[in-house]
Amino acid sequence: MATRRPDDPDAVLTVDHLTMRFGGLTAVDDLSFKARRGDITALIGPNGAGKTTVFNCITGFYRPSEGMLTLRHTDGATHLLERLPNHAVNRRARVARTFQNIRLFSGMTVLENLMVAQHAPLMRASGYTLLGLLGLPGYRRAEAAAVAKATAWLERIDLLRRADDPAGDLPYGDQRRLEIARAMCTGPELLCLDEPAAGLNPRESADLARLLRHIRDEHATSVLLIEHDMAVVMEISDHVVVLDYGKKIADGPPREIREDPKVIAAYLGVEDEEVAQVDAEVGLTIPVAEEARP
Amino acid sequence: MNAPLLSLRGVSAYYGSVAALRGVDLDVNEGEIVTLIGANGAGKSTLMMTVFGAPRARSGTIAFAGEDITARPTHAIARLGLAQSPEGRRVFPRMSVQENLQMGAALHGGRYFGQDLEKVCTLFPRLKERLNQRAGTMSGGEQQMLAIGRALMSRPRLLMLDEPSLGLAPLVVKQIFSAISALNREEGMTIFLVEQNAYHALKLAHRGSVLVNGRITLSGPARALLDDPSIKAAYLEGGHAPTASVGEGVQA
Amino acid sequence: MAAASSASPAAILKDAGLFALVAFGLCVPIVSHRTDLGADGLELTPRWGLVAGLCAAIFAVRLVQRLVLERRAARAVLTPSPHQATEPVGAEPNAAQYPSSLGLPRLGLPLFVGFALFLPLIAALASGGLSPARYWIDLGILILTYVMLGWGLNIVVGLAGLLDLGYVAFYAVGAYSYALLSTVFGLSFWVCLPLAGLFAGLWGVMLGFPVLRLRGDYLAIVTLAFGEIIRLVLINWTDVTGGSAGISSIPRATFFGVPFKAGPDGFSALVGLPFDPMHRIVFLYYLILALALLTSLVTLRLRRLPLGRAWEALREDEIACRSLGIDTTKTKLTAFALGAMFGGFAGSFFAVRQGFVSPESFNFLESAIILAIVVLGGMGSQLGVAVAAVAMVGGPELLRNLGFLKAVFGEGFDPNEFRLLLFGLAMVAMMIWRPRGLISDRMPTVALGQRKAIGKDLVREGHG
What does the domain layout of chain C look like in residue ranges? 9-80, 127-368
Question: What 8-state DSSP symbol labels residue C155?
Answer: I
Q: What is the mean pLDDT of residues B191-210?
A: 88
pLDDT surpasses 50 at C97: no
- The model's pLDDT over C148-158, given as tens digits with 9 standing for 90+, comes to 999 999 999 98
- Measured distance CA(C193)–CA(A142) in Å, rounded: 34
Partners of residue C325 in chain A, C-beta under 8 Å: 87-91, 119-120, 186
Contact A169 C313 (CB under 8 A): no
Contact B237 A231 (CB under 8 A): no
Mean pLDDT of chain B: 83
User: What pLDDT sits at residue C36?
Assistant: 77
User: What pLDDT sits at residue C268?
Assistant: 75
User: What pLDDT sits at residue C94?
Assistant: 42
User: Domain for residue B123, yes or no?
Assistant: no
Chain centroid, CA B184 distance in Å: 14
A85 → chain C, closest CA residue: C327
Catalogue all structural domains in chain A, each as residue range(s) with its CATH number: 1-94+187-294 (3.40.50.300), 105-185 (no CATH)
Separate counts of helices (H) and strands (E) for chain C = 18, 4
B49 → chain C, closest CA residue: C86
Smallest CA–CA distance, residue B66 to chain A, in Å, is: 34
User: What pLDDT sits at residue C98?
Assistant: 46
Q: What is the mean pLDDT of residues B42-46?
A: 84
From first to last of its 294 residues, chain A has per-residue pLDDT tens of: 444 445 577 888 999 999 999 888 888 999 999 999 889 999 998 888 888 899 999 998 899 999 999 888 888 888 888 888 888 888 888 899 999 888 999 889 999 999 999 988 888 887 777 777 777 777 888 888 999 999 999 999 988 988 888 888 888 888 999 999 999 999 899 999 999 988 887 888 888 999 999 998 888 899 999 988 888 888 899 999 999 888 899 899 988 888 888 888 888 875 434 444 544 444 443 333 333 333
pLDDT surpasses 90 at C83: no
Smallest CA–CA distance, residue A259 to chain C, in Å, is: 36
User: What pLDDT sits at residue C80?
Assistant: 60
Taking the Cβ of residue A287 and every Cβ of chain B, the question of whether any pair is shorter than 8 Å is answered with: no
User: Domain for residue B248, yes or no?
Assistant: no
Provide ipTM, 2 decimals.
0.84
The answer to which of A68-82, A193-207, B102-116, C433-447 has the lowest mean pLDDT is: C433-447
User: What pLDDT sits at residue C426?
Assistant: 78
Taking the Cβ of residue A275 and every Cβ of chain B, the question of whether any pair is shorter than 8 Å is answered with: no
The answer to which of B70-74, C35-39, C367-371 has the lowest mean pLDDT is: C35-39
- Strands C41-46 and C33-38, bridge-based pairing: antiparallel
What residue numbers bound the domain in which B57 lies?
1-81+160-166+191-236
Q: Which residues pair with B28 in a beta bridge?
A: B6
Nearest to B84 by CA among B177, B158, B5, B180: B158
Mean pLDDT of chain C: 81
pLDDT surpasses 60 at B141: yes
| Exposed / middle / buried, residue C127 (Cβ in 10 Å: 0-12, 13-18, 19+) | middle
Contact B15 C3 (CB under 8 A): no
User: What pLDDT sits at residue A290?
Assistant: 36
- Which string of b and e fits C87-120 if b means at least 16 CB within 10 Å? bbbbbeebbbbeeeeeeebeebbeebeeebeebb
User: What pLDDT sits at residue A112?
Assistant: 92
Taking the Cβ of residue A275 and every Cβ of chain C, the question of whether any pair is shorter than 8 Å is answered with: no
User: What pLDDT sits at residue A283?
Assistant: 45
- The model's pLDDT over C197-206, given as tens digits with 9 standing for 90+, comes to 999 999 999 8
Q: Which of C5, C84, C95 sits opposite B71 (nearest CB)?
A: C5
Q: Which of B133, B167, B235 sits opposite A198 (nearest CB)?
A: B167
pLDDT band at residue C341 using 50, 70 and 90 as cut-offs: very high
Q: Which of C87, C322, C451 sits opposite A87 (nearest CB)?
A: C322
pLDDT surpasses 50 at C450: yes
Total domains in chain B come to 1
Taking the Cβ of residue A136 and every Cβ of chain C, the question of whether any pair is shorter than 8 Å is answered with: no
User: What pLDDT sits at residue C403?
Assistant: 64
Q: Strand, helix or coil at C46? A: strand
Query: Can you give the CATH number for the domain in which B213 is found?
Result: 3.40.50.300
User: Domain for residue B186, yes or no?
Assistant: no
User: Domain for residue B149, yes or no?
Assistant: no
Instruction: For residue C69, give the amino acid letter.
Output: L
- Measured distance CA(C447)–CA(A143) in Å, rounded: 12
Distances in whole angstroms, Cα of residue C80 to Cα of each of B16, B24, B112, C101, C175: 6, 19, 36, 20, 47
pLDDT surpasses 80 at C72: no
Contact A106 C458 (CB under 8 A): yes
Nearest to C350 by CA among C433, C275, C253, C420: C253
In this prediction, what percent of chain C has a pLDDT beyond 90? Answer: 18
Taking the Cβ of residue C300 and every Cβ of chain A, the question of whether any pair is shorter than 8 Å is answered with: no
pLDDT surpasses 60 at C346: yes
Q: Which residues pair with A53 in a beta bridge?
A: none
pLDDT surpasses 70 at C95: no
Question: C288 with C148: CB under 8 angstroms?
Answer: yes
Q: What is the pTM of this model?
A: 0.80
Taking the Cβ of residue A109 and every Cβ of chain B, the question of whether any pair is shorter than 8 Å is answered with: no
User: Domain for residue B39, yes or no?
Assistant: yes
pLDDT surpasses 80 at C131: no
A160 → chain C, closest CA residue: C448
Q: Which of A91, A128, A169 sits opposite C91 (nearest CB)?
A: A169
